[in-house]
Structure 1
């Protein structure tokens, strides 16, 4: 306790009895020295003798080990600083890539889509116009995928899942003209495995994108909950809705595949009082 909180070396007669250990510790006298650098204790350096070993010298042993601990703490601090510099380089590179995707690639795809839409109106044969419109739909899907990639590139490395959900919902407000209602229940950050998180966020973005493009809604509600061993996402709106069965093109098909890949399920259908309900769930253990 003294070494960790006070930053001072300590000698204990029996390390096994000096603190609680998860496993049995069979040692004798021990010298405990803090690994301190820049006024902060980074850890502890412990040297112990075997049972019935000789005691440590208050002057010689403490000075020698304290000098070594100071050098070790300095090396740890330099290694941490190097990791932070490398992380900063990665983040700057990710921001540059995201900016290029948004300012160059998406704009060119959007312009290409506009040109194709104009060409579709001039097509003399209906099947030609249908193929051009199909190509425009593919471009729209590609643009959404790139925007999703940009969002992931700009997401902080240590961001919590709850924070990312809130950011995704906030991002949809600009296109909807209002902020969707959001409710998050349960231990989202601790219970949802890392391999499930990208699927959850991708499905949430796709569901909100569909509400923007098709629903003409005045209210959208998002519920993300963890309970009874399952992660559930529900996105409902009060828009124009649709008729079942829904045409599961690339966006809806991807949502279903993401659920089935994790052993879960996906449904989409009209609400009894109007609008559309999307439900997506996967098991969490």
Structure 2
């Protein structure tokens, strides 16, 4: 028998098998299966319901209903009534009058009337993937045994086609996760910009997982911060963080991957995956999935976890590179500090001794000049020693560094760079609370210089002794005005008196102003 001599229904079945085999995208394949089943049976309406792990319908592909009608009907069925009967007992079902069956659940509002019904399970390697539902055969006739046989044969072929489409989808998903991991690793190559790399992590995870939002949450100084966020639903992330605070802590502390329902006010599912890092700040990758997206399959969760582990390794590598660069910088600073101490200071000290010896055989005028030069050398030596200390103790908790940081902030406003001199054990003798007061007073003093002094030079001196801490800010400006608003100076005095000290504003010769702020050290 040639293909031309085949019966119409057999030819229709072959055409349907060819049609459903011509695509590898899963949702397109499902749609083709429903259309083919309707065509070979003459059904007006058809659907393929995908059965989830909880034995409910997690996807529902329809044919015969336009978009407007689907919107009027509302939520897709979950598997009650006759649909649920086919889930519980996966065997073909033919009904002449759908509504008369004892398991009939009825139809929602705006649903078209349906009488005849044919349902056939679709299996993949012996496991039920979903069910084909067909209703309203042409002419109001019931579905026949031949229709059931044809649809059953189509369902068998569809199982192989769906299996191939799912295998292709898995391989594509795996390829996308591997590409995302490679991009993150590349982004964390030196020179490293960790914040930008973490954003790449969020962008890649959001795109591949088709998520509503993805956030990288890290714990810094005991507080959780969102380091990077991506997705159309980023506005939901703060609410999710607050609602799942305890779950986030469990994920961080135990390194446990968690899948939880989205909190009230957000719909869908939240997947929490630990970012396992040992050198860098550890964190959690928060993935918010839409309710209609469907649950992540086990393999996809494993791929996302592998991606997070790869990101954690890349972060550790970036942190190691950063630590190495900082160590090299510290070593270079130590070398510079040693050279300054062993060479420069010793030479200056020797020069000063030579000048003092020469002054004993010089005249009065030369003596005065030599004495002035020796004093300048003493100041220079003190400044160099301060610089050496800065180089050896450059860290965020250093009062010396903070003082220079404040001065640097005011350079654009002042129009010049004030000279900074520090003496004594500032970082060990001054408490953090008192250091904050010193920085506040310095800001007030520099603000006054910028607003009122009309100066082009200033000196900031901070000295710590066993008994007291003294801050002096001197400028070469116009001096003290006759009428002035002392609200800022009042705050400076109050800060001093609260610590048992005092503040004075004095004229500086030949012109300018000097602020002295002194407090005792306990």
| TM-score of the two chains, using structure 2 as the length reference | 0.34
What do you get for the CA RMSD once the two structures are aligned?
Answer: 4.2
Which has more radius of gyration?
2
**Equivalences, count:** 210
Distance of aligned partners of 1:41 and 1:111 in 2 relative to their CA distance in 1, 3 Å threshold: closer
Q: Relative to structure 1, is the Cα distance of residues 74 and 144 closer, same or farther in structure 2, using a 3 angstrom cutoff? A: same
Name 1:186's counterpart in structure 2.
433
Establish whether residue 279 from structure 1 lines up as the match of residue 518 from structure 2: yes
Distance 1:36 1:224, change over 3 A: farther
Match of 1:115 in 2: 354
Deviations 1:13-65 (A, max 9, x none): 21x55xxxxxxx855212111011459981111222235432223x2222111
Cross-structure match for 2:468: 222
Aligned-pair CA distance for 1:223: 4.8
Cα distance, 1:29–1:103 mapped onto 2, change above 3 Å: same
CA-to-aligned-CA distance 1:146-193 (integer Å, 9 cap, x gap): 01101111114243439999x96449xxxxxxxxxx674836459947
Counterparts of 1:39 and 1:157 in 2: how far apart (Å)? Answer: 19
Q: Aligned residue for 2:16?
A: none
Within-5 A mapping of 1:1-285: 1=247, 2-14=250-262, 16-17=263-264, 26=266, 28-38=268-278, 42-57=282-297, 59-124=298-363, 126-161=364-399, 169-170=424-425, 184=431, 186=433, 188=435, 192=439, 203-205=461-463, 208=465, 220-223=466-469, 230=492, 232=496, 266-267=515-516, 279=518
Structure 2, unpaired ranges of 5+ = 1-246, 404-421, 447-459, 472-489
Deviation at 1:8, TM superposition (A): 1.2
For residue 114 of structure 1, give the secondary structure of its aligned residue in structure 2: helix
Is the CA contact 1:155–1:164 (under 8 Å) kept in the aligned structure 2? no
* Higher RCO (CA-CA < 8 Å; seq separation 6+): 1
The answer to whether the 8 A contact 1:30-1:56 is kept is no
Q: 1:41 to 1:64 in 2, by over 3 A?
A: farther
Contact kept? 1:34, 1:45, Cα under 8 Å: yes
Q: Secondary structure at the match of 1:48?
A: strand
Unaligned runs of 5+ in 1: 18-24, 172-181, 209-219, 237-244, 258-264, 268-277, 281-285
